[in-house]
Amino acid sequence: MVYDQKVGCTRRSHNDSSKTTEATYCPVGQAHVICMVSDFFYPNMGGVESHIYQLSQCLIGRGHKVIIVTHAYEDRKGIRYLTNGLKVYYLPLTVMYNQSTATTLLHSLPLLRNIFVRERVNIVHSHSSFSAMAHDALFHAKTMGLHTVFTDHSLFGFADVSSVLTNKLLTVSLCDTNHIICVSYTSKENTVLRAALNPEIVSVIPNAVDPTDFTPDPQKIRTNKITVVVVSRLVYRKGIDLLGGIIPEMCHRYPDLHFLVGGEGPKRIILEEVRERYQLHDRVRLLGALEHRQVRNVLVEGDIFLNTSLTEAFCMAIVEAASCGLQVVSTRVGGIPEVLPEDFIILCEPSVKSLCDGLEKAIDQLKSGNLPSPEAIHNTVQSFYTWKNVAERTEKVYDRVSNETVLPMNERLERLISHCGVVTGSIFALFVVATFLFLMFLRWNTPDSLIDIAVDATGPKGAWSHKYSCKKSRKTMANAKSGSSLK
Amino acid sequence: MEGKVYSDIHGEEIRLQQHSYSDTCQEFTVIRPKISFRSLTGCTCAVWLAAYGVFYYTQHSAVLSAAILCTILGLLLYLHLVKIDQESLLLLGSLGLQKSLTFASGRESTVFLEMCRVQDVIINEAISMSRVHYNLCILLRDPADPQGPSQVIPVFQGSQPRLECLVEIYRSCQEILSKRSQ
């Protein structure tokens, strides 16, 4: 059922996108002012960072005003402008651990309030459950009566002490948040269970792949040699033990079969052992750790992509491989069956025998030559997970959220105590009251009317889009000088 | 006193006087309110009452003399170093820019920037303490490296006018600077 929903969604958006490919600026019914908050943003590199950046760019293209708030990275502090007038606030907050800021739930309120007021933010969108700043911003936004959205990018366990604690904090943080977004249905299940949420307020919006990064190689010459590519971290969770069983089996059956393995990890020793024992040095190449930009060049060297994961929330690797025009063989676990339609993927049980059968089927198809060309596969897959589609669906969440009411103070306290347990609930209810009093004090000390309204760089009245108004463009240009070095 | 009335970012009233000497020469003066008698008395009374409190327990008359000295010294330093009465920016299109500060004690501090070093005048956004605000800045260029600004000098830092007032000054500055380039 989950799969059906997903396919329906993808198809519809595919039709939408084919209609509006020409228009870069789509007029929207309701323009929102969105503030993305996360501890993780460029110059730090990673999935969350690029997600925030790409999503913001697409939302700007759709006519919304977007700003990003993160903490200062060494000398990168203050206010910067990125491409298309995306404004980033690098706030001087202390970093505690692993690029996450220290939190007291109080000290960041004056600065965040100032930003929310001067930018006239109406939706605060926090990212990543590891980011303390994201939770702080959610907390303050709710106190100030703004709409809140949260995106969870990771899966958690339930068993050990640290995950029990983080799950409790997540319950507190999300119990009065308007809407939550997860990257796959598996991740949704996980989040709903961890934070004891009502599943109706949790949406699934997958990540996207930049189709221009993952393209097939047009210069590739077809030979008799068949290459199977594996790109993953070499850990137990990725099923490397299975791979160790598959390699000798398949090499025995097909003399022209080669394996190309990218990635590093503790299970590398298994593959090396296999290579030694069966004398496969010329047929199994281990490439070691790969950078993200190298992945495409490795993928296009192969014909078949093999994924042996034992558990997976949303497998980005198989989408990237399919986008490069490869035939995908994968295990049927976690969220993987959701990801690609059946004619692009061969699903197997996580066992050596089943995976060998799957590979055999893929090789037969390849040899018989009745497969669509890599370009055809690329063209179909590139429409599945586009940032444009992600932005459209996120926009729907914003539309829905902005029509909801933010819980007033008394209901919020009741919700906390009834939802999070008496002890935790009461402690955080005290914090809520303290923040509220602090906010009252700040409002008395510097009334909203004394805070200058910022000049919009993006959005319906964005200075960035009206370049001919001399004053504003000069001002933003000077500000952007330092920021432009980034992109 | 003539001049337009604006407010600074703390909500206090400030006055902007604009003298136009010629087409390419203008002076902007931001005048802050004088020190009020009430706040002065209030502060002095507070220090003295605290001193009397301490004196009551310790019975040491040195506390009282110290309090008097503190108030007088504190007031002198405050008037001489902290309290700014007016701030001005003089723009001579052919010559340069002069920014000056007048403290309540009458002390003046002046900085002159030659026109060849001035690249532009901009309004910038900055985060300071726990607020984000706009300020007017002068971009300087390094004569050795004509590409890009070498230094940013903020003006009207003492009076911190709001955006409305800054835009007014900015427009006039740009008019003069644009004539320079012609």
Q: Tens of pLDDT along A241-251?
A: 999 999 999 99
- Report the pLDDT averaged over residues B156-179: 90
Decide if A314 contacts A204 (C-beta within 8 A): no
User: How many angstroms away from the CA of B73 is the closest CA of chain A?
Assistant: 29
Contacting residues of B for A78, CB less than 8 Å apart: 125-127
Say yes or no for a CB contact (<8 Å) between A118 and B149. no
Mutate which of A71, A88, A114 to test chain B, going by most B C-beta atoms within 10 A? Answer: A114
Say yes or no for a CB contact (<8 Å) between A111 and B134. no
In this predicted structure, what is the pLDDT of residue B1? 53
Say yes or no for a CB contact (<8 Å) between B127 and A79. yes
In this predicted structure, what is the pLDDT of residue A29? 63
- How far apart CA B167 and CA A471 sit, in angstroms, is 9
User: In terms of DSSP H, where are the helices of A20-157?
Assistant: 47-61, 109-118, 132-144
- Residues B107 and B171 grouped into a single domain: yes
- How far apart CA A93 and CA A104 sit, in angstroms, is 11
Q: Which residues of chain A have pLDDT under 70?
A: 1-29, 157, 465-487
- Residues B90 and B172 grouped into a single domain: yes
Mutate which of A475, A482, A484 to test chain B, going by most B C-beta atoms within 10 A? Answer: A475
Q: Which of A387-396, B22-31, B142-151 has the lowest mean pLDDT?
A: B142-151
Does the beta carbon of A484 lie under 8 angstroms from any beta carbon of chain B?
no
- Residues B72 and B98 grouped into a single domain: no
- Residues B145 and B63 grouped into a single domain: no
Contacting residues of B for A79, CB less than 8 Å apart: 125-127, 132
Q: How big is the A-B interface in CB pairs under 8 Å?
A: 62
Number of domains present in the structure of chain B: 2
* Complex ipTM value: 0.85
Extract the runs of DSSP E, i.e. beta strands, from B41-144.
84-92, 96-103, 108-114, 118-128, 131-142
Range(s) of the domain holding residue B70? 37-81
- Residues B116 and B41 grouped into a single domain: no
In this predicted structure, what is the pLDDT of residue A217? 85
User: How many angstroms away from the CA of B97 is the closest CA of chain A?
Assistant: 19
Does the beta carbon of A474 lie under 8 angstroms from any beta carbon of chain B?
yes
Say yes or no for a CB contact (<8 Å) between B132 and A471. no
- Residues B143 and B170 grouped into a single domain: yes
Question: How big is the CA angle at A126 (ends A123 and A128), to the nearest 5 degrees?
Answer: 160
- Residues B53 and B104 grouped into a single domain: no
Q: What is the pLDDT of residues A97-129, one digit of tens each?
A: 777 888 878 889 999 999 999 999 999 999 988
- Residues B76 and B8 grouped into a single domain: no
What's domain A2-208+389-450's superfamily in CATH? Glycogen Phosphorylase B; (3.40.50.2000)
In this structure, what DSSP letter does residue B82 have? Answer: I
- Residues B159 and B95 grouped into a single domain: yes
In this predicted structure, what is the pLDDT of residue A4? 35
Contacting residues of A for B119, CB less than 8 Å apart: none
Q: What is the pLDDT of residues A281-291, one digit of tens each?
A: 899 999 988 87
- Residues B95 and B161 grouped into a single domain: yes
Question: How big is the CA angle at A460 (ends A458 and A466), to the nearest 5 degrees?
Answer: 65
Of B127, B131, B162, the CB nearest to A78: B127
Confidence band of B59 (pLDDT split at 50, 70, 90): confident
Mutate which of B7, B9, B127, B133 to test chain A, going by most A C-beta atoms within 10 A? Answer: B127
In this predicted structure, what is the pLDDT of residue A315? 78
- How far apart CA A467 and CA A245 sit, in angstroms, is 62
Say yes or no for a CB contact (<8 Å) between B131 and A446. yes
- Residues B176 and B110 grouped into a single domain: yes
Options 3.30.420.40, 3.40.50.2000, 3.40.50.1000, 3.40.50.280; CATH for A226-384 is 3.40.50.2000
Chain B residues touching chain A at CB-CB below 8 Å = 7, 9-11, 120, 122-127, 130-134, 139, 148-149, 162-163, 167, 170-171, 174
In this predicted structure, what is the pLDDT of residue B116? 86
Residues of chain A with CATH 3.40.50.2000: 2-208+389-450, 226-384
A116: nearest CA partner in chain B: B132
Does the beta carbon of A111 lie under 8 angstroms from any beta carbon of chain B?
yes
Mutate which of B9, B123, B167 to test chain A, going by most A C-beta atoms within 10 A? Answer: B123
In this predicted structure, what is the pLDDT of residue B181? 66
- How far apart CA A122 and CA A147 sit, in angstroms, is 6
pTM over 0.90: no
List, in order, residues 6 or more apart from A365 with CB less than 8 Å away. Answer: A327, A371
Give me the torsion for CA of B114, B118, B121, B125, rounded to 10°.
-110
Query: Listing from the earlier edge strand, what are the strands of the sheet with B96-103?
Result: B4-7, B13-22, B25-31, B84-92, B96-103, B108-114
Sign of the torsion angle spanned by Cα atoms A388, A391, A397, A398: negative
Give the SS3 label for residue A310. coil
Q: Which of A19-23, A446-450, B32-36, B65-69 has the lowest mean pLDDT?
A: A19-23
- Residues B102 and B158 grouped into a single domain: yes
